[in-house]
Amino acid sequence: MCGIIGVSNHPEASRAIYLGLYALQHRGEEAAGVASFDGQEVHLIKSPGLASDALTDQDLIKLKGYAAIGHCRYSTTGSSNVKNIQPFLVRHRGRPIAIAHNGNLTNTAELFSRLEEEGSLFQTTMDSELIVHLLAKEKTNDLEKMFTNVLRQLEGAFSLVFLVGDTIVGARDPQGFRPLCLGRSGDGYVLASESCAFDLIKAEFIREVEPGEMVIINKDKLKTCRYGKNGAEKHAHCVFENIYFARPDSHIFNDNVYLTRKRLGAQLAKEHPVKNADFVIAIPDSGNYAALGYAQEMGLPFETGLIRNHYIGRTFIQPSQFIREARVRVKLNPIRDVLKGKRVVVVEDSIVRGTTSRSRIEELRNAGIKEIHMRISCPPIQWPCFYGIDFPSKKELIASSKSVEEIAKFIKVDSLGYLSLEGMLSVMNDGTQFCHACFSGKYPVKVPVNQSKYLLES
Ligand code: AMP
């Protein structure tokens, strides 16, 4: 995952980026950084932690300039090493180039070995660094030609923003795996992973950058070009952005995330109704809107059964299992007086390893619930993701080795129902344009086959 943002022609560019990173924080809590350009010099500050910890007031004063890009990181490739924090800055022919990347490339191994043979020296273990090495090899200074040549060599998932001097370049892979939105702010433009970042900086949403499109923005001028094959590629938007990852107030993949989640919940109710339940609750926050959709479709009351402690981030984003497990216990607390003796439908967006769900259900049982009917607003996740979602290896994905009945036993619920693949796609804005490899094993772009992520035993 990761959140990316860029602004041009803004009197307080780095502050706009900082606010934007606040809005995109859910896309990566591990580290944050900003690179800005003031007409003469480039400035770069990046640190581990949330945007509010990684960047101080003093930092923002130092980050002068009218053009800037920013990144919040959630590591999928490359370790959590500080060297891997973005934006990643290099100088090429006297010109600074900074990159912020969301997504995972799938031809990393080929590109690494080719570039190493040709003499490249790498500073990080990030696939994003490959992109600047490819840019450095280009003989032309014409940005459109240079970026076109490089972007055509990349495979997999990438939404990108670059700062090249005072020019912002934005690009999206031809399948459009990850979102990237374009907005207008005063006399300049903004690019951001999700439209929710625009609201905070009072930018106006224009549209999404198209899959296979590149935009080159200099001050108040925007040029757009297609570097990908014109219309030849089928889109493969990540359906998990809609299910879980993106913010509900964002508009991505031509749809509003909140409304999509409600439709997922309504479809789930059609496929797995629970008759005679007392009410529906969500596992907050990820299950909230699917639960609401479920309750409305069923005509059942929607209650709050778990209270979230707001001073904790998303549990999975911290890479260590020990921290993840500890945080599960402090994050949500059941309201006993609501739950005691009741038959309850519990809606969650997804089950990955099953460990969080199992401890959640145990807490609900301890609160005196009589029956728990768990409903999941996506199909069983059986396959690893190679395009940027940090799903574990196949052997850790509970649904890759257990049937729905076995999972129900493991998490100790009275019944368990998952949304079907067809049902999920039927409520998307054109279900044919989505990647659902984590559910179906149908990978729209060739993946590196010898990866251990695939293996059930290793
Ligand atoms: P679990 O029961 O341990 O599989 O945890 C399920 C919860 O973690 C659900 O709310 C999931 O949506 C959430 N989650 C989302 N993405 C991930 C991920 N990449 N890795 C682990 N858990 C995730």
Q: Is the pTM of this model over 0.95?
A: no
Q: In Å, how far are 103, 383, 397, 441, 450 from 457, measured between CA atoms?
A: 26, 14, 12, 18, 13
CATH classification of 3-233 is 3.60.20.10, yes or no?
Answer: yes
Q: Give me the residues paired with residue 208 across strands.
A: 181
Residue 356 Cα to ligand 1 midpoint, Å, equals 7
Of ligand 1's listed atoms, the one at least distance from the Cα of 392 is 20
pLDDT in tens, 401-457: 999 999 999 999 999 999 999 999 999 999 999 999 999 999 999 998 766 565 554
d(CA 59, CA 45): 7
Nearest residue (CA) to ligand 1, atom 7: 351
Of ligand 1's listed atoms, the one at least distance from the Cα of 411 is 2
Two tokens at 138? 């280009």
Question: 104, 352, 418: which to mutate for ligand 1, most atoms within 8 A of CB?
Answer: 352
Of ligand 1's listed atoms, the one at least distance from the Cα of 244 is 12
What pLDDT is recorded for position 453?
A: 62
d(CA 111, CA 196): 34
- Say which of 2, 181, 238, 438 is annotated catalytic: 2
What pLDDT is recorded for position 310?
A: 80
344 phi, psi to nearest 5 deg: -125, 140
Class of the CATH-defined domain 256-454:
alpha beta
Of ligand 1's listed atoms, the one at least distance from the Cα of 352 is 4
CB-based contact 99:164 (threshold 8 Å)? no
Q: In Å, how far are 260, 268, 280, 284, 287 from 304, measured between CA atoms?
A: 21, 19, 8, 9, 11
Residue 244 Cα to ligand 1 midpoint, Å, equals 9
d(CA 183, CA 192): 8
Residue 118 Cα to ligand 1 midpoint, Å, equals 41
Residue 351 Cα to ligand 1 midpoint, Å, equals 6
Could you tell me the residue ranges of all domains in the chain?
3-233, 256-454
Decide if 3-233 and 256-454 have a common fold: no
Residue 255 Cα to ligand 1 midpoint, Å, equals 23
Of ligand 1's listed atoms, the one at least distance from the Cα of 357 is 2
What's the distance, CA 65 to chain centroid?
A: 28
CB-based contact 336:367 (threshold 8 Å)? yes
d(CA 251, CA 148): 27
Residue 332 Cα to ligand 1 midpoint, Å, equals 15
Question: 320, 325, 356: which to mutate for ligand 1, most atoms within 8 A of CB?
Answer: 356
Residue 281 Cα to ligand 1 midpoint, Å, equals 18
Protein residues whose CB sits closer than 6 Å to any atom of ligand 1: 244, 286, 316, 348-357, 389-391
> Does 385 participate in catalysis according to the annotation?
no
Task: Calculate the dihedral angle through the C-alpha atoms of 394, 396, 402, 405, rounding to the nearest 10 degrees.
Answer: -130
Of ligand 1's listed atoms, the one at least distance from the Cα of 243 is 12
What pLDDT is recorded for position 324?
A: 62
What pLDDT is recorded for position 317?
A: 55
What 397-401 contacts at long range (C-beta under 8 Å, 24+ apart), as own/partner pairs, is 397/352, 397/353, 398/351, 398/352, 398/353, 398/354, 399/351, 400/456, 401/456
CB-based contact 171:160 (threshold 8 Å)? yes
Query: Could you report the average pLDDT of every consecutive run of 10 residues in the chain (458 residues)?
Result: 96 98 95 97 95 96 98 73 90 92 94 93 89 93 95 96 97 97 97 96 97 96 88 86 97 97 98 97 96 98 93 59 66 93 98 94 95 98 94 91 98 98 97 97 88 53
What pLDDT is recorded for position 332?
A: 87
Question: 350, 359, 372: which to mutate for ligand 1, most atoms within 8 A of CB?
Answer: 350
Residue 354 Cα to ligand 1 midpoint, Å, equals 8
Beta strands 95-102 and 88-92: pairing type? Answer: antiparallel
Nearest residue (CA) to ligand 1, atom 6: 351
